[in-house]
Structure 1
């Protein structure tokens, strides 16, 4: 059985994308000319992870129920390090 490589695996192949000139300038200023591909690869992998996480959350909420917004905000406060008053809501 042949399987497709996972994100970040397999041979590297060139592809063309279109970006706004200002985006290209900012990207090159941050990465240098040779770092653009690695930077874009990392961004795409991170977005794919976020997309998969969103799909998992959507599936879980459909099967169980949506998360309580107050509980979600309490957990976000903990992640931000804002622990003042979060003990009651968590």
Structure 2
């Protein structure tokens, strides 16, 4: 991707804190990632606004259903990770016997 140098004004304390954390060469990358994240958030906000205009606001019931589904996905993932860890702790010859 082509790049172009811009001048921006930042609070000095914030800029120096970031520079200490990411180093001299990482400052531009950090700022670029922050701007990209903000653009994503802005676009998501625009999408939500459009969807609410088209379909109305999300109801409490819809939020509850979405949260229940999210929790189920989290449980499924945690169980899968636990299974994979347990299987990786079993010696290779025992895994072959179980199959």
- Pairwise TM-score range, normalised by the shorter structure: 0.5 to 0.7
Aligned partner of 1:27 in structure 2 is 18
Give the TM-score normalised by the residue count of structure 1.
Answer: 0.66
Separation in 1, partners of 2:64, 2:14: 33
- The unaligned stretches of length 5 or more in structure 2 are 75-99
Q: Does the alignment pair 1:68 with 2:78?
A: no
Higher Cα radius of gyration: 2
Q: What is the TM-score when the length of structure 2 is the normalising length?
A: 0.61
Unaligned runs of at least 5 residues, structure 1: 1-8, 82-90
Which structure has the highest helix share of the two?
A: 2
Greater relative contact order structure (CA < 8 Å, 6+ sep): 1
Poorly superposed stretches of 4+, deviation over 6 Å: none
Equivalent residue for 1:47, pick from 38, 52, 59 = 38
CA distance in 1, matches of 2:43, 2:62: 22
